[in-house]
Amino acid sequence: METLNVRPNDEIAPSGLRRTLPSSAYLDPAVFATERERIFFREWFCVGRAEALPAAGDFVRVEVVGERVLVVRTGERVLVVRTKDGELRGHYDVCRHRGSRLAIDADPRAALEAVPSGRFRGSIVCPYHAWTYALTGELRAAPFLDERDGLRRAELSLHRVGVRTWGGFVFVNLTPDRAVPLAEQLGDAPARVRSYPLEDLRTARRISYEVAANWKVVVENYNECYHCGPVHPELCEVVPAFKRKGGKDLDWDAGVPHQEGATTFTFTGTTERAPFPGLSEEERIRHKGELVYPNLMISLSPDHVAAFRLWPLDAGHTRIDCDFLFDPREMARPSFDPGDAVGFWDLVNRQDWRICEAVQDGWARARSTSATTRRWRTSRSTSDDTSRSVSATRGITPRARARARRWPRPRPDPGRLRAPPGGPPAPRTRLRRRRASRRRSRRPPRPPRSPRDA
Ligand code: FES
Ligand SMILES: [Fe+2]
């Protein structure tokens, strides 16, 4: 297997700039393929909310690492099934007979759904030859075949996918036999947000975005506030601390303070919704955020949570599902309207995705012009390695900057060919000097007028 030749932490100052990963980490399909194998197929990967599977037989069909993975025919498509005892199980969506998909779209209109889902009636029946599996994955029946035909049911269960939940989020692991416990991967994140009733929250709205940027560009952008001042003026109105000193002094463990009188992420900084029960006094007026590696980002206001699930599609593209979670008691109120939070976040999100795409484009162009392959980011300023960091890419090298200044090259204006002061001579000036030089060389040498001219 190809190895990733990256050195993420060659720090040059204790609390200053660090080199980013090399550009290949953001552009190279081979690196993305390696990430797919080593990260997305081996780590716990968030695929949705358990609330989407309320009853026995419910399933969601997800594509881990996007459509292109399916072409490989390695069975990355996963079924997450809630079995009769309420447990969640995962199976590769591949029949053990001839390899047909088990959950196919009966109705072409279903293809419009971002996350296809449905309900199995007591068992999973393959649409091809009707091999029938229990919801837990064991093969129950294969029409017209038995042991005398060589059918070994015990060896023909659906291939297993690991499934665990935390905070109402469903995680799958495509290599369950080698998976670390989910709790180990989550680290201290659950402890930092333990006051928030994540498991009880429900999704009121989802917005899906297609972003032309590598998934790490999105994660790194989420993990810094250095960009908030230039990119998010509306957000900085609500949270002035985001732009103060480039976000250097933010304490995410304690929560980020809003401006005076504001408590949440809306255009006004206020809302009719009550804060979640169980929050501390500080949490009722502050904002928290967590990156749950590798593909879940959660931003926690006192009254709602914005949960971002990243679906890396290829080296340069990422789909992002943003779920807006609320207290179901608030959602049950006739006056409930999530629009104040959703509208605000949608603006902030689009600002983020736009700048992420600009970064990706910058990476791509730098490679095509043989310019620098490394950029800079600032080091983490928070105390905890798994919490947000303040990082930034900083410009490009002098050589690349010079290239950028020359590009696009201006067409010369024939009427304005005078050279700028101190700069190289303009083309016509150079031509006149060459002609004068040639004329001088054709003249016969003058006799010396004084001994010093000899
Ligand atoms: S492919 Fe599934 S039953 Fe034949
Ligand atoms: Fe941002």
Give the start-to-end residue ranges of the domains of the chain: 1-40+201-409, 45-178
Nearest residue (by CA) to ligand 1, atom 1, is: 98
pLDDT digits (tens, 9 = 90+) for 8-52: 445 455 556 778 888 899 999 999 999 999 999 999 999 999 888
Residue 220 CA to ligand 2 centre (angstroms)? 10
Rounded Cα–Cα distance for residues 51 and 58 (Å):
10
What value does the mean pLDDT of the chain take? Answer: 78
Selected residue with higher pLDDT from 422 and 347: 347
The kind and range of the H/E element at 32 are: helix 29-35
Residue with tokens 């009636």: 121
Rounded Cα–Cα distance for residues 104 and 100 (Å):
9
- Highest mean pLDDT: which of 145-149, 209-213, 245-249? 209-213
pLDDT digits (tens, 9 = 90+) for 370-399: 555 556 665 443 333 333 322 222 222 333
The kind and range of the H/E element at 319 are: strand 317-326
Classified by CATH at the fold level, domain 45-178 comes out as Rieske Iron-sulfur Protein (2.102.10)
Q: What was the pLDDT predicted at 105?
A: 67
- CA-100 nearest atom, ligand 1: 1
Rounded Cα–Cα distance for residues 144 and 253 (Å):
61
Residue 130 CA to ligand 1 centre (angstroms)? 6
CA dihedral 273, 276, 282, 285 (to 10 degrees): -20
pLDDT digits (tens, 9 = 90+) for 120-158: 888 889 989 999 999 888 999 999 999 999 999 999 998
Rg over CA atoms, the chain = 30
Rounded Cα–Cα distance for residues 443 and 130 (Å):
101
Q: How confident is the model at residue 437 (pLDDT cuts 50, 70, 90)?
A: low
Nearest residue (by CA) to ligand 1, atom 4, is: 129
Find out whether 290 and 298 touch, Cβ atoms under 8 Å. yes
- CA-126 nearest atom, ligand 1: 2
- Residues 6 or more apart whose CB falls under 8 angstroms from that of 446 comprise none
Name the closest ligand to CA 217: 2
Name the closest ligand to CA 359: 2
Q: What was the pLDDT predicted at 280?
A: 95
**Which residue out of 100, 102, 104, 145 has the highest number of ligand 1 atoms within 8 Å of its CB and is therefore the one to mutate?**
100
Ranking 108-112, 248-252, 271-275, 293-297 by mean pLDDT, the lowest is 108-112
Strands 123-125 and 117-119: unpaired
- CA-131 nearest atom, ligand 1: 3
Q: What was the pLDDT predicted at 88?
A: 85
- CA-95 nearest atom, ligand 1: 2
* Domain 1-40+201-409 is found in CATH 3.90.380.10: yes
Q: Which two tokens stand for residue 253?
A: 């463990």
- CA-129 nearest atom, ligand 1: 3
Residue ranges in 270-390 assigned as alpha helix (H)? 328-331, 339-368
Name the closest ligand to CA 103: 1
3-state secondary structure of 214: coil
Q: What was the pLDDT predicted at 248?
A: 79
Pocket lined around ligand 1, Cβ cut-off 6 Å: 95, 97-98, 100, 126, 128-131
Selected residue with higher pLDDT from 404 and 201: 201
Q: What was the pLDDT predicted at 19?
A: 82
Q: What was the pLDDT predicted at 364?
A: 87
Rounded Cα–Cα distance for residues 386 and 299 (Å):
15
Q: Which two tokens stand for residue 254?
A: 């304690």
Q: Which amino acid is at 306?
A: A
Residue 359 CA to ligand 2 centre (angstroms)? 13
Q: What was the pLDDT predicted at 52?
A: 86
Rounded Cα–Cα distance for residues 179 and 181 (Å):
6
**Which residue out of 94, 95, 124, 158 has the highest number of ligand 1 atoms within 8 Å of its CB and is therefore the one to mutate?**
95
Percent of the chain at pLDDT > 70 equals 70
**Which residue out of 124, 129, 149, 153 has the highest number of ligand 1 atoms within 8 Å of its CB and is therefore the one to mutate?**
129
